[in-house]
Structure 1
Amino acid sequence: MELCANNEEVINKQSLQSEGFCVVKNVLKPETCLLLRELYAKDQHYRSTIDMQRYNFARGQYRYFNYPFPEIISRLRRYFYENLVDCANEWSQRLLHEMKFPADFYAFEQSQYEANQAKPTPLVLKYQEGDYNCLHQDVTSEKYFPYQMVFLLSKKDIDFAGGEIILAQQRPRMQTIAHVINIDQGDALILSSKYHPTLGVKGYYKSNFKHGVAKILRGERYSLGIIFHNYVGGDGD
């Protein structure tokens, strides 16, 4: 599986730092997207499967990868972490946060294990007609990376209709800003995991970011989620 569809993928760091999200076009080749979708049926790659309707927070299903990851998952995590770490440290500085993120992804992983965060978080999500995902955050502990990614594995308007990504930016004492994001197969969305430093008249303040998926109107939609931090717990829990 190859990482990029071309050598022109560009992270718009200015947009990411000002808006809290940005889109990266043509990260994965169509054949890589297909192979990742086909992995969904192979139980040996996953530590758990979640039926979202059972827990009453959405409709659809997702599966968390287990160690060892398929090579493409490991490469994506390392490649994008190391290209986002400068933004992450700027995020920390703007929010006067104590977190300092190492330049090397393996050093970040080691810090996660030392904090008892060893439960892997990359996942594939499967939505069918009528499915959706409510607004939420993928943060369960204090040690987290401020950005995460969603890669669309299905072809928009061919494999499915609907299913836009919804971002809700909640600002203190102000109304929520809704962002509706359309990406296509192979594209990636980089988004704030929890807080975004928003510039106000007195400096930066925290705006709370949540994300979800609008209802699937037709077909079947697969996406890959890359979360750089782990969850608390042992390998394969």
Structure 2
Amino acid sequence: MDALATNIEARVNAIDWHAVEEELDGFGCATVGHLLTPAECDALRALYARDALYRSRVVMARHGFGRGEYKYYAYPLPEVIGALRESVYPRLVGIANRWNEIMRIDTRYPPDHADFIDRCHAAGQLRPTPLILQYAQGDYNCLHQDLYGEHVFPLQLAILLSAPGRDFTGGEFVITEQRPRMQSRAEVVPLAQGDAVIFAVHNRPVNGTRGAYRVNLRHGVSRLRSGHRHTAGIIFHDAT
């Protein structure tokens, strides 16, 4: 393991994962401060123009996804993105398996990310899903879920690469939760540059008076008021 990957792994290991698990159980999302340094954030932003690093570019307005654009990284992933994917997954897999057990979903995830990717690839999910998103004034991301195929890891994370107040205003990360026979609940998640939010991709369990039930979650980004905003997204399953 090289120095950067070792450094990232040490940061990930230093996170209070018990607190993260409590937040995920209670709200479907949890924040992690200072996951990346400002220099690492700026370096990833600077790579946005290098098209050779990406497998595809999506202009949101063409598909009704909102306004703005994003690019999916190609393999091999940038070192910092790959290191985060490999080191965060083992910290989330226990939560994912516990949630599936509570929700009576038969799928269980292997402890190592490489083994899960092998499972995705065996099912024809071959395309990498980590991405970088770019927003300008007036852009936004509609509420959505990042599913992509049969094999879906139920948690993902997004890292804010820009500095609120300096690089942009507005553009808050938003997650909504729809419980059966109830109105949707919205959570606005404040982030600083280098902070990450870990959140449920699709469903999570909630305890009710008659036992546990599933709630449905979607996430998005509110309208940017000024400037430019970049975010890195780490999705643990690959796409068909």
Would the TM-score normalized by the shorter structure come out above 0.5? yes
Name structure 1 gaps, 5 residues minimum: 233-237
The CA distance in 1 between the partners of 2:101 and 2:143, in whole Å, is: 27
- Structure with more of its chain in helix, by fraction: 2
- Picking from 3, 15, 20, the partner of 1:9 is 15
Equivalent position amino acid for 2:37 in 1: K
**Structure 1's 108 and 212: CA in aligned 2 closer, same or farther, altered over 3 A?**
same
4+ residue stretches of structure 1 with deviation over 2 A? 1-11
Note the alpha carbon deviations across 1:100-140, whole angstroms, 9 max, x for none: 11111111111111111111100000000000001000113
Moved more, 35-44 or 7-16: 7-16
**Structure 1's 112 and 60: CA in aligned 2 closer, same or farther, altered over 3 A?**
same
Correspondences of 1:69-88 after superposition (within 5 Å): 69-88=77-96
Moved more, 207-216 or 140-149: 140-149
The CA distance in 2 between the partners of 1:198 and 1:184, in whole Å, is: 29
Correspondences of 1:61-76 after superposition (within 5 Å): 61-76=69-84
TM-score (norm 1): 0.94
Note the alpha carbon deviations across 1:37-63, whole angstroms, 9 max, x for none: 011010110000011111122000100
**Structure 1's 5 and 132: CA in aligned 2 closer, same or farther, altered over 3 A?**
farther
Note the alpha carbon deviations across 1:16-52, whole angstroms, 9 max, x for none: 1222110011100000000000110101100000111
**Structure 1's 142 and 201: CA in aligned 2 closer, same or farther, altered over 3 A?**
farther
1:25 is matched with: 33
**Structure 1's 4 and 38: CA in aligned 2 closer, same or farther, altered over 3 A?**
farther
Root-mean-square deviation (CA, aligned residues, Å) is 1.4
Name structure 2 gaps, 5 residues minimum: none
Correspondences of 1:1-237 after superposition (within 5 Å): 3=8, 8-11=14-17, 12-232=20-240
Deviation at 1:4?
7.7
The CA distance in 2 between the partners of 1:96 and 1:4, in whole Å, is: 32
Equivalent position amino acid for 2:118 in 1: Q
Moved more, 82-91 or 4-13: 4-13
The CA distance in 2 between the partners of 1:117 and 1:80, in whole Å, is: 21
Q: SS of 2:181's equivalent?
A: coil
Equivalent pair of 1:153/1:186 in contact (CA under 8 Å): yes
Kindly, what percent of the aligned residue pairs are identical?
Answer: 42
Q: SS of 1:40's equivalent?
A: helix
Note the alpha carbon deviations across 1:179-219, whole angstroms, 9 max, x for none: 11111100000000000111111111110000010000011
The CA distance in 2 between the partners of 1:115 and 1:4, in whole Å, is: 29
